[in-house]
Structure 1
Amino acid sequence: MTAPVIELCDVSRRYDQGPPALHEVSLSVAPGEAVAVLGPSGSGKSTLLNLIAGLDRPSSGTVTVAGVRVDALGEAGSARYRRAHVGMVFQFFNLLDDLTVADNVVLPAQLSGMGRAEARRRAAELLEVLGVAGFADTHPGRLSGGQRQRVAVARALMNRPALLLADEPTGALDTAAGENVRDLLNQLHADGQTIVLVTHDLGLARSCATRTVQLVDGRVAADVRMEAAR
């Protein structure tokens, strides 16, 4: 049996003296799955994503991604883990405006020690596949929201991550650009990319995910496989 890409076991996260942001969450994601995490504001969606990304640590429980015990890593180890195993796409793109599109995409490879020529080839290939090759020498501020999100996806895929995390990837886009990103996520999933998507958009979840996980008050309230509906 193939090992899961993500394995959370009884994970809780508490801040100060309030109720836990996550409470005893166990979750397994297999290679090639596209999982949409749903829930109202304050339900624990962002906390879950941050724990998987190694940006936060659980108060209890274990987080394993691509065979790495993420909860046991220090700050430097977490940074290496993200570079090697995780690509991240955010609502507001998080591109560096003083760098060109190509330089934004190449950056993760440079941080990982990939050779300059190889990194440039990889970036050019991704920009071509994602339909933004013509903007390689342009700065992100001159692009539309949909174009910037495609650049962000290219950057996230630069190091061939085992896992793509997407946090409200269409939240800052108009309807047409949002549909383009939806189609892009569907294509990535069809190509075998494992995806965890946090979204308030039920339409995006239904069109992109093979499974939905509903969080309520930090707990998994529902875990539904969507294959039959797709």
Structure 2
Amino acid sequence: MTGPEPLIELNDVGRTYDDDRAALSGLTLRVARGEALAVLGPSGSGKSTLLNLLAGLDRPTTGEVTVDGLRVDRLNETASATYRRSRIGMVFQFFNLLDDLTVTDNVLLPAQLAGMPRARAAARAAELLERLGVARHARVHPGRLSGGERQRVAVARALMNRPPLLLADEPTGALDTASGADVRDLLRELNAEGQTIVLVTHDLALAEACATRTIELVDGRVARDVVAVSR
């Protein structure tokens, strides 16, 4: 029997920088559609490099990176930008919301960049804000929200264009305990609905709560690969 179709395939991927430091070395990895993969490891282990390769923000020195059937490592800058708009949602530790725009306008940005019709974009934004529990803040600016609320808005923005892959980089790192628990619950719910997630974190509780599978990177290689028995 064959397993679920892979959304992500990395074949013998290496990334070496100008100082001859290998951030990744011979990394081969498959991530199935619908998985929630947590990536753990010490600083300098290659976690951020892996996310940047998946997002098309960096290119491997060697090997192949395929996401949703597309060879990401072969894309030029214009094609990489289109790829990120259409196939990737990104959630960051410090939210990266624009404080001079309302919550709704922040969420609408990816749709505007992708050329989505205005009425459809507005309906999608309203749907996401309602679903994520922040609809009452639609006309508010992000600076007036709590950290947990801002992260929910950031997740709504990331999901705006219905991306096959959601990348989350330390999404609870700037949150208090209660807000972090809210975001953990949110990511778990999204994955239960079928969203594929790759999550980089130092938070073991987040990985245990959200991930269907956990890998640990050490010196740019997979040192441990564990599938969760249950969540």
Q: How does the TM-score come out when normalised to structure 1? A: 0.98
Q: 1:217 aligns with which of 211, 219, 226?
A: 219
Q: Which residue in the other structure is 2:27 paired with?
A: 25
Paired letter, 2:214: T
Query: Could you say which residue in structure 2 is the equivalent of 1:91?
Result: 93
* SS of residue in 1 equivalent to 2:127: helix
* Matches of 1:74 and 1:99, distance apart in 2: 30
Correspondence for 2:51 among 43, 49, 73: 49
What amino acid is aligned across from residue 170 of structure 1 in structure 2? T
Following superposition, the deviation at residue 18 of structure 1 comes to: 2.8
The CA RMSD over aligned residues, in Å, is 0.8
1:34 aligned onto 2:9: no
1:15 and 2:17 equivalent?
yes
Please give the alpha-carbon distance, in whole angstroms, between the structure 2 residues aligned to 1:93 and 1:13: 27
Distance in 2 between the 1:18 and 1:229 partners?
41
Residue in 2 that maps onto 1:164? 166
Return the offset for 1:229. Answer: 4.0
1:117 CA displacement? 0.6
Q: Residue 200 of structure 1 corresponds to which residue in structure 2?
A: 202
Query: Residue type of the partner of 1:224?
Result: V
The answer for the alignment partner of 1:120 in structure 2 is 122
Q: One-letter code of the match for 2:49?
A: T
State the 4+ residue runs in structure 1 displaced beyond 2 angstroms: none
Larger mean CA deviation between 11-20 and 100-109 belongs to 11-20
Q: How many residues align?
A: 229
Looking at structure 2, the residues matched to 133 and 174 of structure 1 have their Cα atoms a distance apart, in angstroms, of: 22
- Which residue of 1 is the match for residue 81 of structure 2? 79
What percent identity do the matched residue pairs reach? 72
Distance 1:3 1:56 in 2: 25
Q: Distance in 1 between matches of 2:7 and 2:106?
A: 27
CA offsets, 1:67-113, max 9 Å, x none? 11000001110000011101000000000111110000001001111
Residue in 2 that maps onto 1:129: 131
Q: Does 2:180 align with 1:178?
A: yes
Question: Cα deviation per residue 1:135-190 (whole Å; 9 max; x = unaligned)?
Answer: 11111111110000000000000000000000000000000000000000010011
**Alpha-carbon distance in 1 for matches of 2:230, 2:129:** 32
TM-score of the superposition, structure 2-length normalised? 0.98
1:187-213 deviations in Å (ceiling 9; x for gaps): 001100000000000111011001001
Amino acid at match of 1:57: R
